[in-house]
Amino acid sequence: MMHVTCILGSPVREGNTDTMVRALLAGMKEKADKTMDWLVLNDLVFRGCQACNECKETSVSPCVEEDDMQVVHESLRKADLLVVASPLYMDGVTASVKAFIDRLNAFFGADWSPRLPGLKTVLLYSQGLEDQDAYEEVFRLTEQVYGKFGLQIVSRVVLENAGEHDAAAKRVALLEKLEALGRELARES
Ligand SMILES: Cc1cc2nc3c(=O)[nH]c(=O)nc-3n(C[C@H](O)[C@H](O)[C@H](O)COP(=O)(O)O)c2cc1C
């Protein structure tokens, strides 16, 4: 049994990143016996890291903030695959994804050892700009920080030219690519 944690970083339901994640999961469903947490950050109440550093004192309960990020952390602890989907907002990931990343501070040990070693991770992005390479630096730095928690980035898929709400739904080739990726990940699990 495979456990998948899906983090949706867009406030838009049935928008582009939402559609991309669903295509990936559709492919996976054909192959994998899986459980899944579908976590829409916009629906969760949480704030950024408060820098209390309590998470460095214990490995049992990594974060002492009693908010909805507890649900995300619990899901991550049992995950075999993590999917993080974000639109590009103001030349970066959305504010909720950035706050999620800050709260991953709990997944550094006291000696900065990663607490999610080898967790397979797929990153999905959607952007208004046509240039696929426009945000290469954003993606690279984001992957760099994910790597510090031990996440193993297995794939990054970017939908460009997606200023319209239903852009992803119209991109059949992209959706097929995501379904194929889902099938492949499920086969490997
Ligand atoms: C507040 C805001 C900021 C945005 N900033 C950017 C940007 O900096 N670069 C870009 O390419 N697209 C930008 N966009 C466009 C979105 O990234 C694009 O429409 C994306 O496909 C939305 O994904 P969603 O439907 O999953 O929410 C922005 C959209 C909004 C609402």
| Backbone phi, psi, residue 94, to 5° | -70, 165
Round to whole Å and give the CA distance between 48 and 31: 36
Atom of ligand 1 nearest to the CA of 90: 8
**Closest residue by CA, ligand 1 atom 3:** 89
Per-block mean pLDDT, blocks of 10 residues, the chain (189 long): 95 97 93 89 97 82 89 96 98 98 92 93 98 97 96 98 98 98 91
Residues 83 and 159: their CA atoms lie apart, in Å, by 15
pLDDT of res. 59: 63
Q: Is the CB of 90 under 6 A from ligand 1?
A: yes
Rounded-to-integer distance, Cα 42 and Cα 44, Å: 6
Q: What is the pLDDT of residue 110?
A: 82
pLDDT at 60: 55
| 11 Cα: distance to centroid of ligand 1 (angstroms) | 11
CB distance 48 to ligand 1 below 6 Å: no
- What domains are defined for the chain? 2-188 (3.40.50.360)
- Give the pLDDT confidence score for residue 189 in this predicted structure: 76
In this predicted structure, what is the pLDDT of residue 112?
84
Instruction: Give me ligand 1 centre to Cα 33, in Å.
Output: 34
